[in-house]
Amino acid sequence: MSNQYTRYATIATVDTPGEGGFYGGTAWAPAAGGSTQTIVVANDVAVYQFVLPFRSIVRNITFNVNTLEAGKFAGVGLYDKDRNRLVHSGAVSVAATGPKSTAVAAVILEPGVYFHAWTADGTTGALFAVAGVSDGTGGAMSARVVPAKIGIAANPGVAGVLPATLGVITTNLNLKLPVTYFEP
């Protein structure tokens, strides 16, 4: 039974630079070797739906390039439940391996449903990624695939830049989810 002490909820907030952050929907062990092709068709935009259980401010996005691809670019970001882009890294060169961090304009994310998205304009560059979602609980999550929660968006990326909107998502459970860290 609710009373004056239990009617109100406190929302945890991650908003101090250098103190916390979150990974874009990751829940699986690293793929074999931790490096795997994350985009199979150039300019595809792959997505994974997840729930953010706390308020956060994003000012920095980091991912790791494990296999380089000269002259090519990748991008990662977050979309709201209506498939509108909220924050993204822009085009980041994958011509060298190692961590890639991008400072972005501060975006406040409230608890809710989001899509973690990624794209690349090449097909051999590899980001550090987790095993395919079909290898983990992603299969169970997408057993009811209308609407799709994991897959390829209709709207393509361009030269490593994510589109403003995702469009329709076609289910694909064989995706490798890049480990992406979003922080204040």
- Flag whether 17 is in a domain: no
Q: What is the CATH number of the domain that holds 72?
A: 2.60.120
Residue 57 sits in which domain range?
24-183
CA distance 121 to 69: 10
Which tens digit of pLDDT belongs to each residue from 42-69? Answer: 999 999 998 999 999 999 999 999 889 8
151: left (phi over 0), alpha (psi -120 to 50) or beta: left
Whole-number percent of the chain with pLDDT over 90: 51
- Flag whether 107 is in a domain: yes
Which tens digit of pLDDT belongs to each residue from 76-123? Answer: 999 999 999 999 999 999 999 999 999 999 999 999 999 999 999 988
- Flag whether 131 is in a domain: yes
How many domains does the chain contain in total?
1
pLDDT over 60 at 32, yes or no: no
- Flag whether 68 is in a domain: yes
pLDDT over 80 at 162, yes or no: yes
Which tens digit of pLDDT belongs to each residue from 120-146? Answer: 998 888 888 876 655 555 555 555 555
List of E strands, 26-163: 30-37, 45-52, 55-67, 73-80, 85-88, 92-93, 98-109, 112-120, 126-130, 150-153
